[in-house]
């Protein structure tokens, strides 16, 4: 393996509208970007990745500062040792990362940057490497908690005009039955609609959640705390609407446990949350073997993460529309080419690696701090 260096940048991009969930609100997307620089067969190559961590531990225990420390102190030095030894780099990096407990967000970011660099050097698209085969990815839109029902209906109406065919509403106790009913009344029973609670309910809310049956939802995502697989299993046993896990699935092992416990009828696979694209593919394969449909989740990614997610979402068991919306749903100006909706689908880029064309000037403009390691 060739020598490499990794540049970590903290950056912030203004969101076109604030995004509020049961766990908090954000007006800007704060992101840790990784650039993996090495020498390819035809000159210098850069692999790019973004980390799913937030500035605070909002959805996951890791946050941008802990990920930065983990990369600088532990994971990048470890990758350098792996690179110095003989043999194919990526599989050995995977094994080395698996030996370190926890920290899936930090590992995902590092492995993704290395993967992008290797594939760009080899001239191979990530979708080919992962085995994806679709050139159109059906996608939906995730709609935050609004100040009023009127605002929510305006937003949803706008997204339907934009061409989205599947809507996910963020819910929490006190913002659930009313908004879902209002959206059903305004836009009809045929609209593919699902909800995401981001862990806001407790086992004692099961009777309340059972009343959601009447809304004919595609699924109900992560109603209970991430480690409470049993609560999800109890709900799933009594609800015909599929229960879908997001934050609970942090590894192949947790996916296997959730499936064995019948705690999940569908899985939101976020590569950034499960330790990277290779593990995401393993979870996809496991779910497929058990007849559990998946969708590719998102965390308001920039074009860097979005391009990679589109490559993954081409795998055959991503049968539910992904949380991968067009650029204009997130940012007025992204740091890559923009992604546009075509018949409720996004088109994965076809270039080598992720296919993201990173605009270095745009990256400079949003960067606040950087570290090279
Ligand atoms: O729970 O799926 C989630 C965004 C940030 C953090 C968690 C979640 C989300 C979304 C947005 O729902 C999906 C997207 O990127 O469009
Ligand atoms: Mg979710």
Q: How many CB atoms lie within 10 A of CB 137?
A: 24
Ligand nearest the Cα of residue 142 is 1
Please state which CATH class domain 4-123+358-372 belongs to.
alpha beta
- CATH 3.30.390.10 domain position(s) in the chain: 4-123+358-372
pLDDT, one tens digit per residue, over 5-62 is: 999 999 999 999 999 999 999 999 999 999 999 998 889 999 999 999 999 999 999 9
Give the integer Cα–Cα distance in Å for 147 and 282: 40
Q: For the whole model, what pTM was predicted?
A: 0.96
With a cut of 70, say whether residue 159 has pLDDT above it: yes
Q: Does ligand 1 come within 6 angstroms of the Cβ of 323? A: yes
Instruction: Specify whether 29 is catalytic.
Output: no
Instruction: Specify whether 107 is catalytic.
Output: no
At 247, the pLDDT band (50, 70, 90 cuts) reads very high
For domain 128-346, which architecture applies? Alpha-Beta Barrel (3.20)
Q: Does ligand 1 come within 6 angstroms of the Cβ of 194? A: no
With a cut of 80, say whether residue 1 has pLDDT above it: no
**Does residue 55 contact residue 63 with C-beta atoms inside 8 Å?**
yes
Q: Which two tokens stand for residue 8?
A: 């970590």
Burial (0-12, 13-18, 19+ Cβ within 10 Å), 148: exposed
The pLDDT value recorded for residue 132 is 86
- CATH 3.20.20.120 domain position(s) in the chain: 128-346
Residue nearest to atom 13 of ligand 1 (CA): 298
According to DSSP, the residues that pair with 142 across neighbouring strands are 168
Give the integer Cα–Cα distance in Å for 152 and 329: 15
Instruction: For residue 188, report the distance from its CA to the centre of ligand 1, in Å.
Output: 24
Taking CA atoms, 16 is separated from 64, 76, 334, in Å, by 22, 34, 11
Q: Which of 52, 63, 138, 142 to mutate to test the pocket of ligand 1 (most atoms within 8 A of CB)?
A: 142
């Amino acid at each position: 393996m060739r020598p490499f260096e990794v540049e970590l940048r903290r950056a912030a991009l203004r969101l076109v509208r604030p995004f509020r969930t049961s766990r908090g609100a954000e007006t800007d997307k704060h992101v840790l970007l990784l650039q993996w620089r090495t020498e390819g067969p035809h000159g210098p190559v850069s692999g790019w990745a973004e980390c799913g961590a937030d500035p605070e531990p909002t959805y996951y225990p890791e946050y941008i500062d802990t990920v930065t420390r983990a990369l600088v102190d532990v994971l990048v030095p470890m990758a350098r040792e792996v690179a110095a030894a003989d043999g194919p780099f990526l599989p050995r990096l995977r094994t080395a990362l698996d030996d370190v407990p926890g920290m899936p967000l930090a590992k995902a970011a590092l492995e993704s940057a290395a993967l992008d660099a290797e594939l760009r050097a080899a001239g191979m698209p990530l979708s080919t490497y992962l085995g994806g085969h679709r050139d159109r990815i059906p996608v939906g839109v995730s709609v935050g908690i609004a100040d009023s029902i009127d605002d929510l209906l305006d937003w949803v109406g706008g997204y339907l005009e934009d061409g989205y065919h599947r809507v996910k509403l963020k819910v929490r106790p006190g913002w659930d039955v009313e908004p879902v009913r209002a959206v059903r009344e305004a836009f009809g029973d045929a609209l593919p609609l699902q909800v995401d609670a981001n862990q806001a309910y407790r086992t004692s809310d099961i009777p309340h959640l059972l009343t959601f049956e009447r809304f004919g939802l595609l699924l109900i995502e992560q109603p209970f705390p991430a480690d409470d697989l049993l609560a999800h299993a109890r709900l799933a046993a009594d609800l015909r609407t599929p229960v879908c896990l997001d934050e609970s699935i942090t590894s192949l092992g947790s996916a296997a446990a959730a499936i064995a416990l019948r705690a999940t009828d569908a899985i939101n696979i976020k590569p950034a949350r499960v330790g990277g694209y290779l593990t995401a593919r393993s979870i996809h394969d496991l779910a497929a073997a058990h007849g559990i449909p998946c969708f590719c989740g998102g965390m308001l990614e920039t074009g860097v993460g979005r391009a990679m997610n589109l490559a993954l979402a081409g795998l055959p068991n991503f049968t539910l529309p992904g949380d991968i919306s067009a650029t204009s749903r997130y940012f007025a100006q992204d740091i890559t080419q923009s992604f546009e909706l075509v018949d409720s689908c996004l088109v994965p880029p076809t270039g080598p690696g992720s296919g993201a064309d990173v605009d270095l000037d745009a990256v400079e403009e949003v960067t606040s701090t950087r570290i090279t390691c």
